[in-house]
Amino acid sequence: MVKKLEKKKEKVPFIDWFLSSNGATSVAVVILGFLAGVILLLCIGKSPAGLFKAIGQSMFGKAGKNGSWNFRTVGDTLMFSVPYVLCGLSMAFANRVGLFNIGAEGQYTIGMLAAHIVAVCIPAFPGQWLLCILVALLAGAIWGGIVGFFKAKFKVSEVVATIMLNYVALYLYPLVCLYLLPEATINKSGRTADLAETSLLAKVLFDGSNFNIGFIFMILAVVVFWFIMEKTRLGFGLRATGFNKDAARCSGINDTGNITLAMAISGAFAGMAGAIMLLGSVRYAKILTGQDNYGFMGIAVALVGNSKALGCLLAGYLFGVLKSAYSIMQGMGIPKEVVNIIQGLIVIFISFRSGLGLIRDRRAKVKVRKEAEK
Amino acid sequence: MIGTISTIMMLAAPILIIATGGMICERSGVTNVGLDGLMSIGACTAAIVHQLMEVAGVGRISLTVALLAAALVSMLISVLHAIASVDLKSDQTISGTGINLLATGITVFVCQRIYGTDRSTEFKMGMVKDGLGFYPTLYIAIVVVVLAWFILYKTPFGMHLRACGEHPAAADSVGINVRRIRYIGVLSSGFLGGLAGGCAVLTQTIQYTNTFVNGRGFIALAAVAFGRWTPLGVTGASLLFGASLALSTISSMTPALKAIPSQVFNIVPYLVTLIALIAFSGRDYAPKAVGIPYEKGSS
């Protein structure tokens, strides 16, 4: 790798730009992931064209040259990307403050549960869905905030604590649904009674697709993330805490409060994802028996998106496209697991990216030495 | 009663094995969030190898071969984690997460290639209980944890390993090869993670499905933290988690416990761990340098 770089000495500016640009390396990592997927498909004797046809179908509603237009999939794909983007924002927000929130999964589940309770337990009224989303935000914020508080106050590792709370949330969901809610809200066949009509998110724009106003909330969330992080004093303090906790405290930033707040906001994003997934799909809620995994994928989204608002939006859309392609590929007879493998490899390549930093350091050292010799 | 203990041991043994792996890894200074994925890969490998050899009619030896294959394949995958976290100084949680994601893809992909469906074909006979009503996995777990204790606390190598987790710069200054030690730490967690997956799949079910492991690698991580990074503590924590897993399934069949929803038993160990972490927070039991890449000459 190093040898190769030395050969291209004339193009130094580009390499230096590439090595120091997180956006460029993210794109490269995604391309590498797809390349690996294509090679894998070729190895087992399948044509990789199907993979890209499925992706084309999910992005533009048309599979290849001869396929017919079907805009329903475009709306579905956009909707698929909503939980990824929101969970990505959740992870990214914590990440910017120097925390690793592995608990988006639990915050998502709790948000879903909170929205569920509001949707089945109180009498229907117009605009109920908004209350559902707000309560979910709050529930997610509390679920995340607890961890932040423990971390700041008792130095409990947020990774371990969030993993614990993921499981508490996972089992709390059926526990509350099956034993604590009024009898009438339970349907014995693994799902609940129908949610109140007024609590469902209105479907708009794409005929017959799942696309609903939850998408607008996601866009709002992206804007809010960007605004808080980049444009407010609070965001500055949070980022300072992330860079160097001790230095931030010495310059008068309340790091205990910041860590709690950061985890709470982080949890709120995930909680919102839970509410939108619940209210935007079918009339009833399924009683969760396993994790939906959006929280964990959110980690990947945040990493590919470099924990920036726009980055998370794009990366979340990419993962939404892959998810959409996953179900389309099933019908095309292409091994759909390739999609999961591509996602896993993307994250592993992202972790290898820190190696580029080592190369960058070495190049800087060589440069300094050369200049000194002159 | 014997049946209950047997069930608890059946469920606790794999957790103990993988938690021991996680403990060794963290004591060497590397977090391994990818334990869950490593366990899936082990379980999938063991199920496939055992099923194929059973069909070929090689007899009971196939169980041993399946376990070894599971451990080795999973160890091979953990090399990815080692490269990222030791050589490339990456954030260790990221490559672990990557392994978890990769595992869900790879296991189903391989099952698809071999069997044409998302799961492995059922094998006819897994491990059998001995005269006392225990599966051999219990003894494997005991051997693993005793061996880990002996190596960690009674050999020079174990002391070096612990030193790398506490203060790698100091270890380096007296000539210990931090990189080598951490590689060994990660690879042993891969080996034991795979072994645990194999042990689980050969005693608790008859085929591999992608929901089989269901977060038990994360449970193991919790057991490591709850057990305060010591072999004895980890053993106790694994037994507790095993018991709670067992209770949640047994409770629905036992009249006395029927009144309590099974989810209560599921939640308790996680809450206990969380409370324990807070209660014992005055003293930090975690290895000092866990999760921090070691850079030579930086301090």
Residue of A nearest to B267 (CA): A168
pLDDT along chain A (374 residues), means of 10: 49 69 83 88 80 78 66 80 92 88 90 87 80 92 92 82 88 83 63 68 69 86 90 83 78 82 92 88 68 83 88 91 82 78 87 80 83 82
The total of other beta-carbon atoms located within 10 Å of residue A259's CB is 27
CB contact under 8 A, A296 and B95: no
Residue carrying structure tokens 């496939």: B48
> Which chain B residue lies closest to A161 (C-alpha atoms)?
B274
One-letter amino acid at A348 equals: I
Q: Which residues contact B97 (CB under 8 A, 6 or more apart)?
A: A102, A296, A299, A300, A347, B33, B34
What is the spatial distance between Cα B100 and Cα B86, in angstroms, rounded to a whole number? 18
In degrees, rounded to 5, the angle at the alpha carbon of residue B19 between the alpha carbons of residues B13 and B24 is 130
The pLDDT of residue A111: 92
How many angstroms separate the CA atoms of A309 and A223, rounded? 7
Q: Using only C-alpha atoms, what is the Rg of chain B?
A: 19
Q: To 5 degrees, how large is the angle CA A164–CA B20–CA A106?
A: 15
Is residue A136 within 8 A of residue A272, CB to CB? The reply is yes
Residues 317-336 of A with CB under 8 A from B: 335
For residue B95, give the amino acid letter. Answer: S
Q: Does A39 touch chain B (CB under 8 A)?
A: no
Cβ neighbours of residue A371 under 8 Å, at least 6 residues apart?
none
* Residue A54 near residue A329, CB atoms below 8 Å: yes
Of B97, B213, B273, B283, which to mutate for an interface test with A (greatest number of A Cβ within 10 Å)? B97
A295 to chain B nearest CA, in Å? 11
B87 interface with A at CB cutoff 8 Å: yes
Contact B164, B181 (CB under 8 A): yes
Residue A80 pLDDT? 86
Alpha-carbon distance A368 to B126, whole Å?
63
In Å, the largest CA–CA distance within chain B is: 64
Exposed (0-12), middle (13-18) or buried (19+): which is A10, by Cβ within 10 Å?
exposed
Question: Phi and psi (nearest 5°) for A203?
Answer: -85, 135
Is A352 an interface residue toward B (CB < 8 Å)?
yes
What are the boundaries of each domain within chain A?
83-312
Question: How many angstroms from the chain centroid is the CA of residue B256?
Answer: 33
Which residues lie across from A216 on neighbouring strands?
none
Asked if A362 reaches chain B (Cβ–Cβ under 8 Å), the answer is no
- What separation in angstroms does the CA of A18 have from each of A5, A8, A24, A27, A33? 12, 13, 6, 11, 18
| Cα–Cα distance for residue pair A123/B116, rounded to 1 Å | 49
Residue among B87, B95, B225 whose CB faces A348 most closely: B95
Contact B101, A296 (CB under 8 A): yes
Cα–Cα distance for residue pair A57/A321, rounded to 1 Å:
9
pLDDT value, residue B232: 94
Confidence (pLDDT) at B51: 92
B109 touching A (Cβ < 8 Å): yes
Q: What is the reported pLDDT for B294?
A: 83
The three-state secondary structure class of A284 is: strand
A192 forms beta bridges with A186
Distance from CA of B133 to the nearest CA of A (A): 30
Residue whose token pair is 């929130």:
A101
User: Cβ of A291 under 8 Å from any chain B Cβ?
Assistant: yes
Residue length of chain A: 374
Question: B279 and B45 in contact (C-beta within 8 Å)?
Answer: no
Q: What is the pLDDT along chain B (299 residues), one digit of tens a residue?
A: 677 888 889 999 999 999 999 999 999 999 898 999 999 999 999 999 999 998 888 888 889 999 999 999 999 999 999 999 898 888 888 888 889 888 988 998 899 888 888 888 888 888 888 878 889 999 999 999 999 999 999 999 999 999 999 999 999 999 999 999 999 999 999 999 999 999 999 998 888 988 888 778 888 988 888 888 899 999 999 998 888 888 777 776 777 767 777 788 878 878 877 887 787 765 667 788 887 888 776 54
Other CB atoms within 10 A of residue B253 CB: 8
Measured between CA atoms, how close is A160 to chain B, in angstroms? 6
Q: Do B109 and A337 touch (CB under 8 A)?
A: yes
Percent of chain A exceeding pLDDT 90 equals 18
pLDDT score of A347: 86
Q: Give the integer Cα–Cα distance in Å for A302 and A312.
A: 6
Q: Which of A102, A154, A178 sits opposite B281 (nearest CB)?
A: A154
Nearest 5°: the CA angle B122, B194, B243 is 80
A352–B267 C-beta distance less than 8 A: no
- Please provide the DSSP assignment of chain B as one string: -HHHHHHHHHHHHHHHHHHHHHHHHHHTT---TTHHHHHHHHHHHHHHHHHHHHHHT--THHHHHHHHHHHHHHHHHHHHHHIIIIIS---HHHHHHHHHHHHHHHHHHHHHHHHSSSSPPPPS------TTS--HHHHHHHHHHHHHHHHHHHSHHHHHHHHHHH-HHHHHHTT--HHHHHHHHHHHHHHHHHHHHHHHHHHH-SS--TTSSTTHHHHHHHHHHHTTTSHHHHHHHHHHHHHHHHHHHHTTT-GGGTTS-HHHHHHHHHHHHHHHHHHTTTS--S-TTTT----TT--
- On whether the CB atoms of residues A206 and A71 are closer than 8 A, the answer is yes
Instruction: Write the DSSP symbol of residue A315.
Output: H
